[in-house]
C-alpha cells in the first residue's frame, strides 16, 4: 500500500468547507463581544445615588461622617488574605 502525500485518503470524498455567514452577526470574530440592550443601558447609566454620594462627601468634609476603623482594618486583612492565597 502506498500513501500519497497531499491527497485525501478516500477518492470521491468531498472536502467540506464552513458555510458562509448568512448574517453580519454570524461573521463576527470569535473574540468579539456583543452586549445585550439591558447591559448597554446598565453600562450607560450611573448605578449610584448622586445625592447620597454628595451628602457623604459633605459629611466627610465637615468631619461628621462616622468611621469604624476596626471594620476598615478587618476589611484590609481580608483583602490581603485573598491576594496572598
* Domain spans of the chain, in order of start: 43-85
What's the pTM? Answer: 0.33
Q: What is the pLDDT confidence band of residue 19, given thresholds at 50, 70 and 90?
A: low
Whether the CB-CB separation of 39 and 32 falls below 8 Å is answered with no
| Mean pLDDT for the stretch of residues 23-34 | 66
Which pLDDT tens digit goes with each residue over 71-85?
999 999 999 999 997
Whether the CB-CB separation of 25 and 34 falls below 8 Å is answered with yes
Please report, for residues 71, 74, 77, 78, 80, the alpha-carbon distance to residue 83 in angstroms, rounded to integers and kept in the order given: 19, 14, 10, 9, 5
Cell of 12: 470521491
Which pLDDT tens digit goes with each residue over 41-69?
777 777 788 899 999 999 999 999 988 99
Amino acid at each position: 500500500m502506498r500513501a500519497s502525500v497531499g491527497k485525501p485518503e478516500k477518492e470521491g470524498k468531498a472536502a467540506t468547507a464552513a458555510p458562509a455567514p448568512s448574517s453580519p452577526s454570524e461573521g463576527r470574530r470569535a473574540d468579539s463581544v456583543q452586549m445585550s440592550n439591558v447591559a448597554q443601558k446598565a453600562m450607560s447609566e450611573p448605578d449610584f445615588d448622586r445625592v447620597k454620594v454628595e451628602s457623604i462627601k459633605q459629611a466627610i468634609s465637615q468631619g461628621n461622617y462616622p468611621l469604624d476603623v476596626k471594620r476598615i482594618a478587618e476589611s484590609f486583612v481580608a483583602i490581603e488574605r485573598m491576594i496572598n492565597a
